Structure 1
Amino acid sequence: MHRYRSHNCGELRAADVDTDVRLSGWLHNRRDLGGILFIDLRDHYGLVQLVARPGTPAAEVLDKLTKETVVRVDGKVVSRGAENVNPELPTGEIEIEVSEVEVLGAAQQIPFTINADDGVNEEKRLEYRFLDLRRERMHRNIMLRSAVISAIRHKMTSLGFNEMATPILSATSPEGARDFVVPSRLHPGKFYALPQAPQQFKQLLMISGFDRYFQIAPCFRDEDARADRSPGEFYQLDVEMSFVEQEDVFGPIEQLMTELFEEFGGGRHVTSPFPRIPFREAMLKYGSDKPDLRAQLELVDITDVFEGSEFKAFAGKHVRALPVPAVQAQPRKFFDQLGDYAVQHGAKGLAWVRVGEDGSLTGPIAKFLTEENVKLLNERLGLEPGHAVFFGAGEFDEVSKIMGAVRVEAAKRAGHFEENVFRFCWIVDFPMYERDEDTGKIDFSHNPFSMPQGGLEALENEDPLDILGWQYDIVCNGVELSSGAIRNHEPDIMLKAFEIAGYDRDTVEEKFAGMLRAFRFGAPPHGGIAPGVDRIVMLLADEPNIRETIAFPLNGNAQDLMMGAPTELEEARLKELHLNVRKPQVK
């Protein structure tokens, strides 16, 4: 018999009764019922119940061991009997009557419970991540991640893409976030940068003549954590294609996402095809460029309804309305709670009216509305008895943010929210430029390296604020999975695009010398995208925080509490790297 096991803990069934077996695993739980010990033994594959009779050598050993001790047990498979079957456990029809125990790895008293969620804080979980990963939910999430990545590789290869590797040590990148830098021992005073993304390299692969590239790429950005963003490092499905237009990129990615979310989504429906929503339309209708389409409500711009109005709360401001049908049965608390929710998102309050059975409007601001206001609201919003309308007024961006959040919350509270579904969309037609409110300067709004719609002619003849880029985002259930673009591969167009944003030719030639040089040796039209693997798994696992789907994440302060990173370097190592450390002064 094998030194450690003849079977794993998840595979034994009723057909194995009377079989002599050897198992190894962790002591998951222990119960003493009248001197008879029942032990749950756990390994990667599952859980099986052990039984040790009183007075036996096995019982004496098992009774003294702490939970999470690693043991090897020998025993015989016996039937539990119909009255003791556990239908929720694959091995629930049998148990192992233990005859011999060997301790393989002793365990100290564990700092938190493994077999149940005891509400331990995240910092403690990250400090003992190797224990946290033993929990069923975490183990399931990491295995889901493994399966998803394996499926991505298979599906991308089937779609005609070739997996290629790009450098980790490279030069600083124009991606926009802060680089993580690595000092060079051989080149004093110089630094490598860890890639924020393989952006330039994957474009260079297209210029080198490869046609369809992909990579499960590690990316490094020195940026703050969020619930959907891990600080430090993350992984993305990096994709680039040659001789393509926007729809050519959408096709395989849409197929991949549909198949992936159908396979691993636990039966949740995937809506397909994915709608294409222009950026400006998304901001007006949903208040966000990453709309949650499960919320079946839309915002309506009614700024013109209140032009010249004497109602000071709306006069001279951008006004957005959210009509919500079938709320006649909702109590006043429904409106007050939505108002509180709006305040939490930055509003000073939330104006609203309700439509009565006779079509009249009631509510806190009804008395301020003129007959003309009411007429226009009815026409624009299609109001019917039982409707409620919520209003936001202020600057465009501020109103969009607040009313976008209220839209989703109102849909959830009023029963207009679709559960158990993945609703994808493409956000397209991003503005190429925007005006800085403080300086009045024209600057890039999204991705400076994308091809402007209309090319050089648009750059030379149109108002920069009217020019759109061939840029796109893919969004699922309100989570942005990726940005992408058709690349600007023509030097003259690139130089002109940067000139409009205030960069002279010499600056562009200096900062992007490598890419411009490559473009001048025959570059094909190309484009790509890079969906975040961590975010994909987060959605599939139905987890609210991205760290729950990463085996060893940093905490919110970009620290590895388990390994103690970041660490200080010894003076000898600093000297070898030609570095002096200048710490900030303590105030």
Structure 2
Amino acid sequence: MAESMAGLKRSCRCTEVTEANVGQELTLMGWVQKSRNKGGIIFTDLRDRTGIIQIIFEESDCGAESFAKAERLRSEFTIAVTGVVEKRSGAANENLKTGSIEVRAKSLRILSESEVPPFPIEENSKTREEVRLKYRYLDLRRPDLQRNILVRSRVATMVRQFLADEGFLEIETPTLIKSTPEGARDYLVPSRVHPGNFYALPQSPQLLKQLLMCSGFDRYFQLARCYRDEDLRADRQPEFTQIDMELSFVDVEDVLDVNERLLKKIFKEICGFDVQLPIQRMTWREAMDRFGSDKPDLRFGMELKNVSDVVRDCEFVVFKSALENGGSVRGINADGQAGMPRKKIDALVEYAKGFGAKGLAYLAIHEDGSYKCSFGKFMKEEELDALVKAMDGKPGDLLFFAADKDKVVFDVLGNLRLELARQLDLLKKDDFKFLWVTEFPLLEYSEEEDRYVAMHHPFTMPMEEDIPLLDSDPGAVRAKAYDIVLNGTELGGGSVRIHQGDIQEKMFEVLGFTPERANEQFGFLLDAFKYGVPPHAGLAYGLDRVIMLMVGADSIRDVIAFPKVKDASCLMMEAPSEVDVKQLEELHIAVVPEEKEQE
């Protein structure tokens, strides 16, 4: 039967007790990790968010009533214990922060009992994630998850303090806004008061923070909740948190400077890692050419090499046709992997096909200098020698080649490079390699929509020297945009914004917006720009991704208190769910059953 804690006050948390407290009487509260009755003496591990401390119950110390209660203790009972801190009588437990001390109980109250939990509350649980997420409130008791959430809280506090010290103001923006369907799908919220009309949940506070710059708040930030109705991956959720900021009267260098110092501070204090400043920079073009990715992982080499010129005159039809169709032939060198079994190579070929490759050519260089080559019979010996030389190949190396349109080649080799690194155990989680990727293309052509679309958003400033190309060659225009990348993951991104009306009009024109449509979607921002808009720029981090990398988690679900699963549902709350018909009627909404196709 549950007891009250009336008259009791917790002295401190479990691992806040140290040898300095020996001899003191303390009251501790928490959960039973495990309890072992050795006949006349009961050893109980008490756990709270800080860790574990051992409690000893003997009837001569705690009395018959408390000892009888102690005999009933099971995992996850919630208890309050008053006792005296002692040096541990046996050998110290070096695995525990409190391993050199224990508490000899004088009294015990069972604040609540627990059924047998559906899985053990322990670090690195092997329980299926679906089960753990259904009982997330229990899953969150696990020490590793609690550490992750504590790190998240510390980082949020640190970010707030750092940005406040840099002159930023924390300003909240609304979460019921106008839908502006450029980019990912919006989550829509029907209005009861305005039948047939909808709010959207913000994908980011982009337009609102630009309006704050128009309002004269020259440095803004918030830890903003954002929502995107998109397919999920390990590092995506339908709702997430951004460290969002915007600055006035600045250019690229100012934004990068303040953010480099912010990253240096939080990684030093949380991870003990010293970020070297300035952080390395690389243009988007260079990143794609060298790594096949706009978020390259710099923890290992295996860079792409363009060998198009070397194989241009060969008779291998795969290479030849790719080049004739305006594509390229590129390769990567898996250093020392010439002995890789054929079965493993075949698996990598299949892996490459998942990213659009029709196949994958390979060449192994034996220790005696001879070649084992999947396309050797189509090329002369001197052509193979030239190819190996261009790839810096040496005895023991394994070379892979992809030939297709550049986009496919980059996608195939960029992902193959990462898969090889995983297989060869080259990815160390505590080796933090930061990179700024700059000068992204301003626009990309959408075959589906048959028009150019903004790679970031319609308010990104082009590089000044590229503005004339907006008329003649829009695809060649570079943006004043920048992403911060860590270990192959994009932590955040931003850009300098357009603040000149004529450039903004030209941007809308290139994107295929009529003046009427631009005004319909963004009229409130364009109106604000008529009244003196400062040059401004900003950046937003995915806080969840930052924490995921800091703590070495494999998924952002491990650093969010109550995450969704891949179909955007919450297994614990069983959301989304059907709602009462009366609620729908008030919103003037009817749910139409999906018609099943007749067989």
Confirm or deny a common fold (TM above 0.5): yes
Q: Is the CA contact 1:29–1:115 (under 8 Å) kept in the aligned structure 2?
A: no
Q: Secondary structure at the match of 1:584?
A: coil
Relative distance call for 1:196 and 1:435 in structure 2 (3 A) is: closer
Give the deviation of 1:389 after TM superposition.
1.7
Q: Secondary structure at the match of 1:131?
A: helix
1:277-426 alignment runs, 5 A limit = 277-317=282-322, 318-327=328-337, 335=345, 338-339=348-349, 341-343=351-353, 345=355, 347-356=357-366, 359-413=369-423, 420-426=430-436
Q: Which stretch shifts more, 56-65 or 388-397?
A: 56-65
Q: Is the CA contact 1:41–1:48 (under 8 Å) kept in the aligned structure 2?
A: yes
TM-score by length of 2: 0.90
| 1:465 alignment partner, one of 458, 475, 478 | 475
Q: Secondary structure at the match of 1:223?
A: coil
Report the equivalent of 2:51: 46
Report the equivalent of 1:230: 237
**In structure 2, what residue type is equivalent to 1:252?**
V
**In structure 1, what residue type is equivalent to 2:208?**
F
Relative distance call for 1:192 and 1:338 in structure 2 (3 A) is: closer
Give the deviation of 1:390 after TM superposition.
1.4
**In structure 2, what residue type is equivalent to 1:242?**
S
2:73 equivalent to 1:68:
no
**In structure 2, what residue type is equivalent to 1:251?**
D
Q: Is the CA contact 1:308–1:316 (under 8 Å) kept in the aligned structure 2?
A: no
1:172-251 alignment runs, 5 A limit = 172-231=179-238, 233-251=239-257
Gaps of 5+ in 1: none
Q: Secondary structure at the match of 2:85?
A: strand
2:98 equivalent to 1:85:
no
Q: Secondary structure at the match of 2:444?
A: strand
2:66 equivalent to 1:58:
yes
Q: Is the CA contact 2:188–2:198 (under 8 Å) kept in the aligned structure 1?
A: yes
| 1:553 alignment partner, one of 543, 560, 563 | 563
Distance in structure 2 (CA, Å) of the matches to 1:316 and 1:270: 45
Relative distance call for 1:438 and 1:4 in structure 2 (3 A) is: closer
Deviations 1:243-297 (A, max 9, x none): 22222211111121122222222x4453542222222221221111111111222
Q: Which stretch shifts more, 409-418 or 457-466?
A: 409-418
Give the deviation of 1:574 after TM superposition.
2.5
Distance in structure 1 (CA, Å) of the matches to 2:486 and 2:496: 21
Deviations 1:212-241 (A, max 9, x none): 11111111122222100112x111011111
The alignment yields a C-alpha RMSD, in angstroms, of 2.6
**In structure 2, what residue type is equivalent to 1:106?**
E
Give the deviation of 1:51 after TM superposition.
1.6
Report the equivalent of 2:3: none
Report the equivalent of 1:260: 266
Report the equivalent of 1:162: 169
Q: Is the CA contact 2:92–2:99 (under 8 Å) kept in the aligned structure 1?
A: yes
2:492 equivalent to 1:482:
yes
Distance in structure 2 (CA, Å) of the matches to 1:62 and 1:76: 16
Distance in structure 2 (CA, Å) of the matches to 1:90 and 1:2: 29
Q: Secondary structure at the match of 2:541?
A: coil
Report the equivalent of 2:588: 578
Give the deviation of 1:74 after TM superposition.
2.3
Q: Which stretch shifts more, 567-576 or 507-516?
A: 567-576
Give the deviation of 1:461 after TM superposition.
4.8
Q: Is the CA contact 1:37–1:63 (under 8 Å) kept in the aligned structure 2?
A: yes
Q: Which stretch shifts more, 167-176 or 245-254?
A: 167-176
Give the deviation of 1:531 after TM superposition.
0.7
1:448-527 alignment runs, 5 A limit = 448-454=458-464, 457-459=467-469, 461-527=471-537
Q: Secondary structure at the match of 2:14?
A: coil
2:536 equivalent to 1:530:
no
Q: Is the CA contact 1:25–1:41 (under 8 Å) kept in the aligned structure 2?
A: yes
Q: Which stretch shifts more, 456-465 or 71-80?
A: 456-465
Q: Is the CA contact 2:429–2:552 (under 8 Å) kept in the aligned structure 1?
A: no
% of aligned pairs identical? 42
Relative distance call for 1:116 and 1:414 in structure 2 (3 A) is: closer
Q: Secondary structure at the match of 2:15?
A: coil
Q: Is the CA contact 1:197–1:220 (under 8 Å) kept in the aligned structure 2?
A: yes
Deviations 1:9-38 (A, max 9, x none): 222233333333322211111123345321
2:21 equivalent to 1:16:
yes
Report the equivalent of 1:124: 131
Deviations 1:78-115 (A, max 9, x none): 3322x431122222122222232211122122111113
Relative distance call for 1:522 and 1:372 in structure 2 (3 A) is: farther
Q: Secondary structure at the match of 2:159?
A: helix
Q: Is the CA contact 2:463–2:478 (under 8 Å) kept in the aligned structure 1?
A: yes
Distance in structure 2 (CA, Å) of the matches to 1:328 and 1:127: 46
Distance in structure 2 (CA, Å) of the matches to 1:367 and 1:414: 30
Relative distance call for 1:456 and 1:7 in structure 2 (3 A) is: closer
2:181 equivalent to 1:171:
no
Q: Which stretch shifts more, 489-498 or 27-36?
A: 27-36
Relative distance call for 1:360 and 1:59 in structure 2 (3 A) is: same
Q: Is the CA contact 1:27–1:41 (under 8 Å) kept in the aligned structure 2?
A: yes
Distance in structure 1 (CA, Å) of the matches to 2:373 and 2:7: 77
2:105 equivalent to 1:98:
yes
Q: Secondary structure at the match of 2:317?
A: coil
Deviations 1:171-215 (A, max 9, x none): 113452222222222222222222111111100111111211111
Q: Secondary structure at the match of 1:10?
A: helix
Q: Is the CA contact 1:559–1:566 (under 8 Å) kept in the aligned structure 2?
A: yes
Relative distance call for 1:51 and 1:586 in structure 2 (3 A) is: farther
Report the equivalent of 2:31: 26
Relative distance call for 1:577 and 1:237 in structure 2 (3 A) is: same
Relative distance call for 1:272 and 1:377 in structure 2 (3 A) is: farther
Relative distance call for 1:520 and 1:455 in structure 2 (3 A) is: farther
Relative distance call for 1:192 and 1:254 in structure 2 (3 A) is: same
Report the equivalent of 2:153: 146
Deviations 1:327-379 (A, max 9, x none): 46766676556445435655454322233456553333334332452353255
**In structure 2, what residue type is equivalent to 1:44?**
R
Relative distance call for 1:387 and 1:196 in structure 2 (3 A) is: same
Relative distance call for 1:70 and 1:348 in structure 2 (3 A) is: same
Relative distance call for 1:175 and 1:210 in structure 2 (3 A) is: farther
Deviations 1:431-474 (A, max 9, x none): 22233346754443343221122379515553112211112211
Relative distance call for 1:287 and 1:15 in structure 2 (3 A) is: same
**In structure 2, what residue type is equivalent to 1:373?**
E
Distance in structure 2 (CA, Å) of the matches to 1:54 and 1:417: 54
Give the deviation of 1:415 after TM superposition.
7.1
Report the equivalent of 1:275: 280
Distance in structure 2 (CA, Å) of the matches to 1:139 and 1:419: 19
Relative distance call for 1:43 and 1:411 in structure 2 (3 A) is: closer
**In structure 2, what residue type is equivalent to 1:364?**
S
TM-score by length of 1: 0.92
Residue-pair matches, total: 584
Distance in structure 2 (CA, Å) of the matches to 1:341 and 1:262: 38
Q: Which stretch shifts more, 307-316 or 49-58?
A: 49-58
Give the deviation of 1:144 after TM superposition.
0.5
Distance in structure 2 (CA, Å) of the matches to 1:44 and 1:417: 30
Report the equivalent of 2:441: 431
Deviations 1:124-154 (A, max 9, x none): 2122111111000111000010001111111
**In structure 2, what residue type is equivalent to 1:239?**
M
